[in-house]
Amino acid sequence: MAQRGVGINTAIKSAMDVGIEQFVVPGVSPENWPVVAQLAKQFPPVHCTFGIHPLFIDSHSIDALPELEVRIEDSLLHSHGCIAIGECGLDFYQGRENEKLQFMVLEAQLKMAQRFELPVLLHVRKAHNELIQILKRHPLPKGGVLHGFSGSYEQGMEFIKCGLWLGIGGTITYPRANKTRMAVSRLPLERLLLETDAPDMPLNGYQGTVNEPKFLNEVLSTLITLRSETEQTIAQKLRNNTYNALQI
């Protein structure tokens, strides 16, 4: 949830009006960490995380790692501190020019997750199998969330075996996302949770608009049509999964 589109106050209020209780706002770059930390201080239902997102990696990212470590350590001493490390991960959607750098920055953040015993928020595009291999080398004490899951049942199960929950977002609202919809209908319910990735990933029918957290219930409605469990079981389980995964 970033600050594009409606103001943050409005986005939080309209989501709370439809029953959403808490929010996770991931930090993606050194410039962005103080912004999300301030949001978490200002709005008690908001939790922040700190990380270096693969799309924000540049020549300064290696130098930023010690700063990230200090920021996390310091934040854990205070209330409204960070609840996870991320977003971090791999993104080869636009090419692999900086793949070495992406691997290094990700591995450093996974080590921090081990050291601080924090969950991770993982982002991946065009690198599912490579991410699985890296996760096998860096076992995570608190697991984490693979956000915006889109993939096959087998890939989903591999991530779950690495201790992750799968973040299910607007992708499943698109009928053409057949592989992901089929996977999500069969993957274990106790390892799924809901997300919007607002302001990104608009739902089907809202293309070209700014996504908002209030649309979480529409992701839930779609998930209910794909699963065999009752609506109540799904809603309750997913809520608990979120709290377990992120320990909020």
For Zn ion, the binding residues (CB under 5 A) are 123
165: which strand partners?
A: 145
Smallest separation, CB 24 to Zn ion (Å): 12
Residue 123 assigned as binding residue:
yes
Helices (H) and strands (E) in the chain — how many of each?
Answer: 9, 7
Task: Give the CA count within 13 Å in the CB-facing half-sphere of 41.
Answer: 8
159 vs 227 by CB, closer to Zn ion: 159
Residue number, nearest CB to Zn ion = 123
Is residue 89 classed as helix, strand or coil in its secondary structure? strand
Nearest approach in angstroms of CB 92 to Zn ion is 14
80 labelled binding-site residue: no
Residue with tokens 């290094």: 104
Which residues make beta-bridge pairs with 86? 121
**Does residue 53 have a known ligand-binding role?**
no
SS3 221: helix
- Packing angle, helices 128-137 and 153-161, rounded to 10: 20
**Whose Cβ is closer to Zn ion: residue 147's or residue 227's?**
147
**ω into residue 34 within 30 of 0, thus cis?**
no
What minimum distance in Å lies between the beta carbon of 146 and Zn ion?
Answer: 10
> How near is the Cβ of 137 to Zn ion at its closest, in Å?
22
State in angstroms the smallest separation of the CB of 53 from Zn ion. Answer: 7
Query: Among residues 112 and 198, whose Cβ is nearest to Zn ion?
Result: 198
Q: How far is Cα 210 from Cα 5, in angstroms, rounded to an integer? A: 6
**99 has binding-site annotation:** no
At residue 56's C-alpha, the angle toward residues 53 and 61, to 5°, is 90
Binding site as annotated, residues: 87, 123, 147, 197
Binding site as annotated, residues for a divalent metal cation: 87, 123, 147, 197
